[in-house]
Amino acid sequence: MGIRDWIRNQEGSPANSYYQRGEGQLTKERFESAIQAFNRGIELDRSHTGCWIGMGRAFLGLSNYDRADDCFVRALEITPDNPEALAMRASVLRSLALRNQDPMRCLEAVELCNQTLKKSPDSGLALHEKGMALWILGKREDAMVLFDQVKKADPQYQYPWDLKGRYLFENRRYHEAIEAYEEALQKKQQDPDLLYQEGRALMKIGGYHHAIEYFRRCLKIRPDFPSAWLLLGNSYKILTRYDEAVEAYEEAMELDPGSTKYRKYIADVYLVKGKDSLYKDGNPQDAIEYFDKTIEMIPRHITAWFSKGVAYRKLGSYRNATACFLRVVEIDPQNAHAYFEMGQILEKTGNNEESIRCYVETIRNDPSHTDAMYRLGNLLSEQGDYKNAIAYFDRVLEKKPDSSTAWFAKGKALQRRGQQKDAERCFEKAGKLATR
């Protein structure tokens, strides 16, 4: 039966009044009432394709995909070429594909759309459904081509601006993505996912203040959205609104207690605050308190232990500082920076033998650490081990041939060793470099 014959046959059907009633209920999204109306129509006329399609759409509205599919199949048995039934069944199949993680259903949906497009190449419904199926299959660009094709042909087309925004975001076209999300939000102003996506895009272009507005709007509608709390926290952190950042991360952690990533984010905020106190504000005591909060969140946080050691060193509390650096090398035995810090403390407190060992460990773990080589050379020279001292000064000069201090230190070692002419050449080199 052709579509025109079907329309003629439906005109005098006793089910028509129930069909119209069901359509009215569908418009109001009263799906249960719509199903009752369409079902009554089918009882009067089992060949009424419109009632079968309408009931399928109502089941689709209730996310009852299996029942919806049964209805569209029945409609196609009556009118095999019905374009609406074909497109709506394609919609059901892609929904089933998402629910069951079954890409084969999407391929079936594409075939149904192609069946319609062979006869009606400009069918907006078929082009849209084919685009949606291709989107789920990961063929984003092909889907966009189809959506744009419908948009050109039909000014009333409900263009999927949310998908356009995602496509542009994935292609790092963030400004265009924001425009697409704005279009989508005009129709769905209270959609938390759209608000979240726009906030995320705004972050990419540095619009953190605006991003915060969108995340807060999103969370007002959907407060149990841990990803939105996380990005809200990240935005606050970048704007150095640290207390608000911690509050946002704590909300995310409460919603997703099985994840450990939020502890890391909170720990990193305290670490940043500690570093600001230590290096910007010159307040080592406050810095230690923040580093302790970091360590409380992540006990093996190497950077926090190291920074805490630096803070204690600045306070002159060398024993505590050394304990922190020892904790660092306990966690990371190859941490050259911690060995160097301990070497400096031991040298300052007159424990030269242990200081030498620390500088040796520093160089062993970081063969490019010229500061450790220079200090080690000086200590060895003071102990009378001029040969090895000179060897370390030479290693410094291999990497930093313009170091006037290394040339001078080498000259002093040579002089003490009785190599006066060689020492004079080093002093001369040091003098020239120093007066450049």
What are the residues whose beta carbons fall under 8 Å from the beta carbon of 152, sequence distance 6 or more? none
Is pLDDT of 313 > 60?
Answer: yes
* List of long-range contacts for 133-142, beta carbons under 8 Å, 24+ apart: 133/90, 133/93, 133/94, 133/97, 133/106, 133/107, 133/109, 134/106, 134/110, 135/163, 136/94, 136/97, 136/98, 136/103, 136/106, 137/103, 137/106, 137/107, 137/110, 140/167, 140/170, 141/167
**Token pair of 94, please?**
């892609």
For residues 288-303, average pLDDT: 96
Contact assessment for residue 35 and residue 59, using Cβ atoms and an 8 Å cutoff: yes
pLDDT, average across residues 364-389: 96
How is the chain split into domains, by residue range?
161-259, 362-436
Query: Is the per-residue pLDDT at 8 higher than 70?
Result: no
pLDDT number for residue 10: 55
Share of the chain above pLDDT 70, in %: 97
pLDDT at 1 over 50: no
Which pTM does this prediction carry?
A: 0.79
Q: Which CATH superfamily is domain 161-259 in?
A: Tetratricopeptide repeat domain (1.25.40.10)
C-alpha atoms less than 13 angstroms from C-alpha of 355 in its C-beta half-sphere: 20
Q: What is the CATH code for 362-436?
A: 1.25.40.10
User: Mean pLDDT across the stretch 102-106?
Assistant: 91
| 161-259 and 362-436: identical CATH topology | yes
Query: Rounded to an integer, what distance in angstroms lies between the CA atom of residue 435 and that of residue 4?
Result: 99
Query: Residue 217 above 50 pLDDT?
Result: yes
Residue 11: pLDDT band (50, 70, 90) is low
What's the pLDDT tens digit per position in 153-171? 898 999 999 999 999 999 9
Residue 103 has pLDDT above 60, yes or no: yes
Calculate mean pLDDT across residues 404-420.
95
Lowest mean pLDDT among 116-125, 194-203, 242-251: 116-125
Q: Where are the beta strands (DSSP E) in 56-173?
A: none
Q: What percent of the chain has pLDDT over 90?
A: 89
List, for residues 316-375, the tens digit of each pLDDT value. 999 999 999 999 999 999 999 999 999 999 999 999 999 999 999 999 999 999 999 999
Task: Return the amino acid letter for 348.
Answer: K
Cα 314 from chain centroid (whole Å): 37
Question: What is the number of other CB atoms lying within 10 angstroms of the CB of residue 123?
Answer: 21
**pLDDT averaged over the chain?**
93
Q: Judge whether 269 and 245 are in contact, CB under 8 Å.
A: yes
